[in-house]
Amino acid sequence: MSKRLTRPIAIMAVIAIASLVFIGAGAYSAPSGKPSYLNGTYEGSAPSHGGELSVVVTVKKGKIADVVIRATDSAGISDAAIVKLPAAIIKAQAIEVDAIAGATETSEAIKAAVADALAGATLYPVDKTIKTDVVVIGGGNAGLAAAVEASLAGAKVILVEKMPFLGGNSIRAGGAYNAVDPARQIPQGIEDSIEKHYQQTFEGGDKKADPALVKTFVEGAPEGITWLESLGMKFQPNVFTVLGALWPRSHAAVEPVGTGFINTLSRTAESNGVRIMLETTADQILREDGRVTGIVVVDASGKRIRINAKRGVVLATGGFAANKEMRQEYDPLITPNLGTTNHPGALGEGIVMAKKIGAALVGMEYIQMLPLGNPETGALNGWVGFNVEDFIYINKGGKRFVSEAERRDVMTQALIKQKDQFMFIVCDAHSMPTPQTKNSFNETAEELVKKGTAFSADSIEELAAKIGVDPAAFRATIDDYNRGIDSGVDSFGKKLLGSKIDKAPFYASPRVPTVHHTMGGVRIDTLARAIDEAGDVIPGLYAAGEVTGGIHGGNRLGGNAIADTIVFGRIAGKSVAAKK
């Protein structure tokens, strides 16, 4: 039983076009040939005569066995089409049948409703079929963590990734991982608890998250670190506060950005025998008689391959921050002119595929922006500073306008109100002690200045001249901030205060708002099982990472996404492997 299609065709078109771009021109061909249908009972609907016409289509042994129409009077209940069209569709085993004379509008509505019902159940011919226990869609942290856990549990695993490389957004992210960690925090004098991480995550997400998922998340985060360490990954000895994290519990890997995670997980996946298929795009999730049994993919040469997965499918396709139409559909304020920090493959087609086979979506309207985009590209790299405690933001007038330790949405909304929606992030030698000091993106201070994404100077006044802000206003801002460090009371209420900004060289880097993370997605339970619109588990479908919703509520804390991908990726991998 299944689905109601509400996503406009436009999105599918965008995704199809994007797929062409990403898997190489000519590689992708739209499905063709006479389709068969996947067994099950499906609902669909379409508008007709100003009313709503709905159908229930039953497929048995791969054939359309029954079409039952329910319609309001205004939808054309008395039309001849209601009587004749179902038989015509069953006879032709196709939706493309002639309209019934004199009842064209109702005929078209019936065909549209049947197409809607069968949208997730129509299987076009494939070039070959392969079998496995588990198939994972997406090779970011969540997909790789799931593949590793499933393979460790003895399952035969295939992972498909549409890009020519693994990593998705996970490898581009700053790589901060939030977890309560007394072994690191106590020597640094930081008090923390699972309860505090829970409260900050839940309240920081405006209490919109599913409390059970938040609990699973904060409890699983510390073990995620020790698990990764057991696989050979190295973390820095000290924790810090990544932007928007609200507390010093962010772990940074020794390897730059997200590479430590992806290298560790892909190495382990390969040594456990996971088959990784790159440039292979999942096109459809197959659900038969209620259960998800596999997927259809298109490989680099354009071949359509059916992958039957005995134990189930893990959806780990990431979010949709790079899909301008889709993000604006869910949040009209996220206009297409805004850049994104995301990789170009973050198009959300996993969400569309899951919805087609009946998955419920949650929190789709919650889309996170960051105040730290590169004005040229929207990307996050190219900026100075590291610890929230040690940098400030100034607008073009040389003035601060928000606490830099605030939630990401609060900081971005404040930035949007500044002139030209533009700011500089400013720090000093406390953040970048030598020209060789690196930011979280493995870029040295020297390189940043050379590239022109940052400016440096030996005094605030000189820096003001270089970035074109009023030196007196900038100086007054710095003096006020430094007085707040002494008194412990910041003019903008910043709670996490570190060093004064008083040690040359001083740095500034121009920044704009950018779209960063999509908090909404497929609804899951604490075992990472996908949930349908009636609140029931969809047997055989698991989801983890940014493709899911309900964990971060209305606002995701910095450093919680990476931890989420590892915690729920692992859970999905264990859950799917447990199903024999």
Q: Which residues bind ligand ADP (CB under 6 A)?
A: 137-143, 160-163, 168-170, 281-282, 316-318, 345-346, 349-350, 545-547, 565
Residue 404 contacts by C-beta under 8 Å, 6 or more apart in sequence?
A: 243, 388, 391, 392, 393, 411, 492, 494
CA angle 179, 175, 213 (to 5 degrees): 45
List the structure tokens of 35.
């389709």
Is the Cβ of residue 222 or residue 318 nearer to ligand ADP in the bound state? Answer: 318
**Which residue, 2 or 565, is less far from ligand ADP as judged by CB?**
565
Cα(415)–Cα(400) distance, rounded to whole angstroms? 10
CB of 565 to ligand ADP, least distance (A): 4
User: CB of residue 115 vs ligand ADP: minimum separation in angstroms?
Assistant: 22
113: Cα separation from own chain's centroid: 31
Instruction: Identify which of residues 266 and 317 has a Cβ nearer to ligand ADP in the complex.
Output: 317
The residues pairing with 251 across neighbouring beta strands, listed in sequence order, are 177
Query: Which residues on adjacent β-strands are paired with residue 437?
Result: none
Task: Please tell me whether residue 71 adopts helix, strand or coil conformation.
Answer: strand
Residue 469 C-beta: closest distance to ligand ADP, Å? 36
- Closer Cβ to ligand ADP, 48 or 368, answer by number: 368
Residue linked to tokens 């919805």:
355
Helix (H) / strand (E) element for 136: namely strand 128-137
Residues 538, 528: Cα–Cα separation, whole Å: 11
Strands 423-427 vs 392-394: parallel, antiparallel or unpaired: antiparallel
Contacts of 104 (CB under 8 A, 6+ apart): none
Q: Which of 249, 327, 408, 529 is catalytic?
A: 408
CB of 317 to ligand ADP, least distance (A): 4
User: How many CB atoms lie under 10 A from the CB of residue 472?
Assistant: 11
Q: Which residue, 137 or 392, has its beta carbon nearer to ligand ADP? A: 137
CB of 101 to ligand ADP, least distance (A): 42
Give the DSSP H or E segment for 267.
Answer: helix 259-271
Tally of CA atoms within 13 A in the half-sphere of 405 that contains its CB? 18
Q: What is the DSSP letter of 339?
A: -
Q: CB-wise, 143 or 540, nearer to ligand ADP?
A: 143
Q: Does the annotation mark 511 as catalytic?
A: no
Between CA 297 and CA 312 the distance in angstroms is: 15
> Distance between alpha carbon 446 and the CA centroid of its chain, in Å?
33
Q: Give the position of tokens 């040939």.
A: 33
Minimum Å gap between C-beta 322 and ligand ADP is 10
Q: Least distance in Å: CB of 356 to ligand ADP?
A: 13
Between 349 and 406, whose beta carbon lies closer to ligand ADP? Answer: 349
Between CA 401 and CA 421 the distance in angstroms is 12
Q: Helices 80-92 and 104-118, interaxial angle, to 10°?
A: 40
Residues 6+ apart with CB under 8 A from 390: 427, 428, 430, 431, 498, 499, 501
For ligand ADP, which is the closer residue by CB, 41 or 555? 555
Least distance between ligand ADP and beta carbon 162 (Å) = 4
Active site residue ranges: 408
